[in-house]
Chains A and B, each alone.
Chain A
Amino acid sequence: MSKHTPQPQSVFDSALLRGALIDSLKKLDPRTLWRNPVMLCVEIASLITLVTFTMSLTGANNEPAWFTGAVSIWLWLTVIFSTFAEALAEGRGKARAASLRKSRTDVTAKRLDKAEFGQNYTTVGASQLRKGDLVLVEANDMIAGDGDVIAGAALVNESAVTGESAPVIRESGGDRSAVTGGTTVISGNIIVRITANPGETFLDKMIGLIEGAKRRKTPNEVALEVLLIALTLVFLLVCANISPLSIYSVKAAGQGTPVSLTILVALFVCLAPTTIAALLPAIGIAGMDRLFQKNVIALSGRAIEAAGDVNVLLLDKTGTITHGNREAVAFVPVGGHNERELAEAALMASLADETPEGRSVVLLARQQYGLNRETPTDGELVEFSADTRLSGLNLEGTRYRKGASDATIAFVKKQGASAIPVDLAGVVDRIARAGATPLVVSKGSEILGVINLKDIVKAGIQERFLRLRSMGIKTVMITGDNPLTAAAIAAEAQVDDFLAQARPEEKLRLIREYQEQGYMVAMTGDGTNDAPALAQADVAVAMNTGTQPAREAANIIDLDSNPTKLLDIVEVGKQILMTRGNLTTFSISNDIAKYFAIIPAALLSIYPQLAALNVMQLTSPFSAILSAVIFNAIIIPMLVPLALKGTGFRPMPAEKLLIHNLLIYGVGGIIAPFVGIKAIDMVIGLVV
């Protein structure tokens, strides 16, 4: 299967940069910027410095014009860096959206009045289709809108949506009836009932999400913004407070000048949590984009962040934990027969059996015993029926059968068997207890032995569950098997718990129970019978191959239809939160150094003794303040790659993770600006 995963774009792609630059200037409009109140404050601060700069030029302000001018430029750059970060993150999404949109242009549809082939159709534009309309899609047509196949079957190329070049089958009834607008039918004819109005289709939603146009702030983001606004307000008051305090101090000390407006504004911008506020929108957008690179579409930012909090993951057994089908792994003879005898009979009984289980018996017999028989032409095939619950082959008067233990016993007794081998019950019981399925094989009226049919747990699945467990996520397997089988598979796959003989309402009840206990529940599913449970789960991942109801109930759609994708989704969710938290800590830790740069500089004329606080030995008050402002501005573009990529995540206990991040972003956040400001001051010293 070949895949074309969306190209991971480099952060600094030149075309992208150019577009982002233009957008970043457009975003300076206060009507756009008010969504980021902290940066709006910085913009106002920049305007104020522009005024003080013009006053310097006209002589109304006795600060040197180079100083007020430089401060003003750097404050403007602070705002622009912030809007640039956001524009860059959006730009990456926009480029993807544009490629998606191409697949949608000028589609026409063949509208039908009745759901029958061979009717006359009217050709209409895709935009005229409404929910409930019936359309005919023939080979090489593009499907005009989201819908359900209600008649026929077709091979559909969905690469426009999934990036998957291998076509998939879509047919009426069952779990494969959903089709997506923008995909192309390769062969076959189908009639589709449209399920979404134009503008509301899956592709539309996807484009909207990727572009970030519909992005709403998540509760976590709002809560963080509350904190940032509060801090900004406090720093505004701190700076406002310095003015009267310095006026008093000038009188008390009998020398110096009160702190100027330019310096107060500069101090305010330096103290305000501009680093995190500037990068906050970019972090969320980039997170969605990273998920998209992994072929996952999150229908809301909230769902991704909720994924970071998941403590319970419900997984459908089939196709997730085990390969879809059971396989024969051993032949166990009974009643004194040998293995080869049994293998031969099993092979005969399965030759006509086209089910995956049947094929696996044939395969095992061939591989282990070198038996090779073509399906005999003169034999009479006995297909599995609900009555006999047996399948097999009648050849030259010999009846080969295989089936459940009780069914086979009943069959051989009818054939006149004198006795059932005494060790049969023991073998059947042992296999069932181990979670496998025993299939009893008979030849004529004799029972030869048992085929051990086993669910094969996917390779490497244990490590994935281990990784989930180390993140604090409990895995629960959901299966229709009986509890015995389920327990054995659960033990082998090392899931934490299982729900056996699960019916849809039981899945729903289980999710509700977990939620009642306060857990965040994630569920992966694809079938229509999963839809209620998906709707109830906090994080619902639907496979793209799933049915329309399943996809509608979900808030995350996995285009690869790989159920263990949740691991990636959880990681991205956590990364988004961590990046925000780490940058907040970094931003606030920075303030300590900025105080030590600006406060002595601002108050030096009043109290020369405060030079003792100039621990960085900055050359002059003007240079000190300018250095802090420049550091505050350039740290934003320097951190853009981090904001877009997210901080690294390795599963480890919460406490360790906290210490790890505190050391990097907390302690680092205290030290970095001391170094940075000193370096910038030295450069300014060379220039001025």
Chain B
Amino acid sequence: MNPYELLQTIVFFITLLVLIKPLGSYMARIFQGERTFLSPIMTPCENLVYRISGVNPEDEMGWRRYAGAMLLFNLALFVSLFVMLLTQHLLPLNPQKVPPFTWQLALNTAISFTTNTNWQAYVGEQAVSYFTQMAGLAVHNFVSAATGLVIAIAVIRGFVRRKTSQLGNFWVDLTRCTLYILLPISMIFSLVLVSQGVIQNFSAYRNLPLVQSTSYDKPKLDDKGAPLKDAKGNPVVESVPVKEVQIPMGPVASQEAIKELGTNGGGFFNANSAHPFENPTPLSNFIEILLILLIPGALTYTFGVMVGNTRQGWALLGVMLLILITAFAVLQWAESSGNPLVVKQGIQSINMEGKEVRNGLAGSNLFTVATTGTSCGAVNSMHDSLTPLGGMVPLSLILLGEIIFGGVGSGLYTMLAFAIIAVFVSGLMIGRTPEYLGKKIEVREMWMSILVILTAGVTVLILSGIAMITPTAVASMANPGAHGLSEVLYGLASVSNNNGSAFAGLNANVNFYNLLGSLAMTLGRYVPAIAVLAMAGSLAEKKFIPPSLGTLPTDKAPFALWLTLVILIVGALTFFPALALGPIVEHLMMVS
């Protein structure tokens, strides 16, 4: 890493850490119903929402009602987007006259955006109208993130509250989260991104003449559409001149900030944050990475404030930072070492394939670990082009269960489930009935934590097994061999963990991936969400056990290290064979 990159990385992490406390305590105030500096503006809006929707903000919900409201709301989101995608040709703001989605793709996309996955089996600039982008996808970016966040808040309340079944009101949490947190931050950063050159318009796509015209070879087709071949059996090609280029337009900036902030990751354009209209400068790149990690990071502080001991939050943040920085270091090392095959030719070079020069190696790598450590899934470089070991880093971060900062809300609650498992084993090891934050960990908490942390992993194991023996699934690979296996594994890990990024090589718009992916995204989002709410319900009903000398402190380094180990060991034990047959063997073959 050169000094400039090192400085950039250090400045980045300092900025992130500086922002965590103010935002974290602000979010705690929001969810504890306290007044903030935004209250004069937002309280009237908030009350208006309640009046229109007939919500009684004083009405507290038990976990079943809370989960029920969450599911109902998400069902409504899904249906609205599904219908919109199927009928977008009839709706306004469609200057490019894009056609409707097929039902399989619409199903996949609607589930993808509702579950905060933002897996995109379509090409944004070719398939989606401005109306769908704004009224559909952007709205979902806000509310799917808010859904994750309020579930996490309900779980925190489960730890905080004593002898009650009430976890808060889903509608109130959702409204406050959107109005006080997501909207204001997105508004500010949309404008900042516009200042960097991110576009925001409703124009039709523009055709611009190329400064230097070019041409490409196109295979000639016969009447039936099959490629023509010459006498020797080689395909007949014709040269097609290219004098113009079509530049896609659109309301990008308004969607860009929430894409990162809500760890959604669904790009306006297919190239996502590698596209200059989404992420034009190194500064915009810096801001986008920051936005990805901002809420998941700050939420650990919110957690600390709400449970009455901010060190508990710092401990979790420490675990996340430790793994994230380690992952970044490994990725940076792998990519600086270059492609082993190239190195073998005696050419020492860093691996810049698939990366944008303006983002640089460190700027691309930091984005890569941030977007896969969280369940964001936006990309500013092509993960498929990473070296085998480099590519294993984002893949592993996803397979760990999206907890290294993790998705907005979902990262924290999944991490808490890991903490419960870690507390359970370590509690036994010190000879006590395990307790976390003063709440006893019993059979029910174990079941629920296990569902939270293993649902995605189990889904990946089952689906990747099915995929590797399904011919259509294998045919979608862009590369054969071990790398193809990595592509499939990455894709299925991405949907099951609600990340949404792709290894890019895989052609995902086939029924196999659309339908199985829809199933994986649904399971990966709602099974843990319901399980964790059920756990919150049972935790809230427990009494608080004051810590004593015999209680294991969970806000200190030894426990944080143990938690880190548990996370890494669970991940490694679950996926070691698959990784051995994918990136590891690919690397070994390249170096041998």
Mark contacts of B552-591 with chain A using CB atoms, 8 A cut-off: 1 yes-contact digit, 0 otherwise: 1100101100100100010011111110110011001100
Chain A CB count within 10 A is highest, among B441, B484, B589, for B589
B139 CB, min distance to chain A CBs, angstroms: 37
Known: A220-B433, A609-B592, A655-B558. A585 touches B425 (CB 8 A): yes
Known: A244-B469, A252-B480, A305-B433. A518 touches B438 (CB 8 A): yes
Known: A242-B577, A655-B558, A659-B558. A249 touches B589 (CB 8 A): no
B431 within 8 Å of A (CB atoms): yes
A100 CB, min distance to chain B CBs, angstroms: 30
Question: What is the size category of the interface that chain A forms with chain B?
Answer: 35 or more
> Do residues A591 and B578 form an inter-chain contact, with CB atoms below 8 A?
no
Q: Provide the residues of chain B in CB contact with A477, threshold 8 Å.
A: none
Binds A, one of B24-32, B504-512, B543-551: B543-551
B447 within 8 Å of A (CB atoms): yes
A439 CB, min distance to chain B CBs, angstroms: 41
**B581 in complex: contacting residue of A249, A578, A661, CB < 8 Å:** A249
In the complex, residue of chain B having the shortest beta-carbon distance to the beta carbon of A312: B548
Interface residues in A527-576 (C-beta closer than 8 Å to B): 573-576
In the complex, residue of chain B having the shortest beta-carbon distance to the beta carbon of A576: B431
B237 within 8 Å of A (CB atoms): no
> Do residues B430 and A661 form an inter-chain contact, with CB atoms below 8 A?
yes
Q: Provide the residues of chain A in CB contact with B574, threshold 8 Å.
A: 234, 238
Binds B, one of A25-33, A357-365, A466-474, A478-486: A466-474
Q: How far is the CA of A265 from the CA of B465 in the complex (A)?
A: 17
Q: Provide the residues of chain B in CB contact with A309, threshold 8 Å.
A: 432-433, 550
B454 within 8 Å of A (CB atoms): yes
> Do residues A654 and B469 form an inter-chain contact, with CB atoms below 8 A?
no
B590 CB, min distance to chain A CBs, angstroms: 9
A226 within 8 Å of B (CB atoms): yes
A519 within 8 Å of B (CB atoms): yes
Q: Provide the residues of chain B in CB contact with A166, threshold 8 Å.
A: none
Known: A241-B465, A244-B466, A654-B552. A226 touches B429 (CB 8 A): no
**B551 in complex: contacting residue of A235, A253, A472, A662, CB < 8 Å:** A472
Q: Interface residues of B, CB < 8 Å — how many?
A: 66
Q: Provide the residues of chain B in CB contact with A244, threshold 8 Å.
A: 464-469
> Do residues A578 and B585 form an inter-chain contact, with CB atoms below 8 A?
no
Q: How far is the CA of A279 from the CA of B404 in the complex (A)?
A: 35
In the complex, residue of chain A having the shortest beta-carbon distance to the beta carbon of B592: A609
> Do residues A607 and B585 form an inter-chain contact, with CB atoms below 8 A?
yes
Interface residues in A258-286 (C-beta closer than 8 Å to B): 271
> Do residues B429 and A599 form an inter-chain contact, with CB atoms below 8 A?
no
> Do residues B573 and A588 form an inter-chain contact, with CB atoms below 8 A?
yes
A413 CB, min distance to chain B CBs, angstroms: 55
> Do residues A245 and B464 form an inter-chain contact, with CB atoms below 8 A?
yes
Q: Provide the residues of chain A in CB contact with B577, threshold 8 Å.
A: 238, 241-242, 245, 595, 599
Known: A238-B461, A654-B552. A219 touches B443 (CB 8 A): yes
Q: How far is the CA of A595 from the CA of B584 in the complex (A)?
A: 14
A240 within 8 Å of B (CB atoms): yes
In the complex, residue of chain B having the shortest beta-carbon distance to the beta carbon of A571: B431
Q: Provide the residues of chain A in CB contact with B180, threshold 8 Å.
A: none
Q: Provide the residues of chain B in CB contact with A575, threshold 8 Å.
A: 431
**A237 in complex: contacting residue of B433, B441, B458, CB < 8 Å:** B458
A308 within 8 Å of B (CB atoms): yes
> Do residues B430 and A657 form an inter-chain contact, with CB atoms below 8 A?
yes
Q: Provide the residues of chain B in CB contact with A83, threshold 8 Å.
A: none
Known: A238-B577, A242-B577. A227 touches B450 (CB 8 A): yes
Known: A248-B468, A585-B425. A655 touches B556 (CB 8 A): yes
B457 within 8 Å of A (CB atoms): yes
In the complex, residue of chain A having the shortest beta-carbon distance to the beta carbon of B542: A518
B488 CB, min distance to chain A CBs, angstroms: 9
> Do residues A574 and B431 form an inter-chain contact, with CB atoms below 8 A?
yes
Q: How far is the CA of A341 from the CA of B85 in the complex (A)?
A: 110
B442 within 8 Å of A (CB atoms): yes
> Do residues A252 and B556 form an inter-chain contact, with CB atoms below 8 A?
no
Q: How far is the CA of A576 from the CA of B454 in the complex (A)?
A: 28
Q: How far is the CA of A519 from the CA of B445 in the complex (A)?
A: 20
> Do residues A223 and B431 form an inter-chain contact, with CB atoms below 8 A?
no
Chain A CB count within 10 A is highest, among B429, B454, B562, B574, for B429
> Do residues A574 and B578 form an inter-chain contact, with CB atoms below 8 A?
no
Q: How far is the CA of A235 from the CA of B474 in the complex (A)?
A: 24
Interface residues in B445-475 (C-beta closer than 8 Å to A): 445-447, 450, 454, 457-458, 461-462, 464-469, 474
Interface residues in B368-422 (C-beta closer than 8 Å to A): 421
> Do residues A241 and B425 form an inter-chain contact, with CB atoms below 8 A?
no
Q: How far is the CA of A575 from the CA of B430 in the complex (A)?
A: 9
> Do residues A252 and B484 form an inter-chain contact, with CB atoms below 8 A?
yes
Q: Provide the residues of chain B in CB contact with A589, threshold 8 Å.
A: 569
Known: A654-B551, A662-B562. A584 touches B543 (CB 8 A): no
User: Can you list the 3 inter-chain pairs with the closest CB atoms, starting with the nearest?
Assistant: A581-B428, A574-B431, A472-B550
Question: What are 7 A-B pairs at a CB distance below 8 A?
Answer: A234-B573, A238-B574, A244-B467, A472-B548, A577-B433, A657-B431, A666-B565
Q: Known contacts A238-B574, A577-B431, A592-B573; can you find 7 more A-B pairs with CB under 8 A?
A: A244-B464, A518-B543, A518-B544, A581-B430, A603-B585, A654-B552, A655-B559
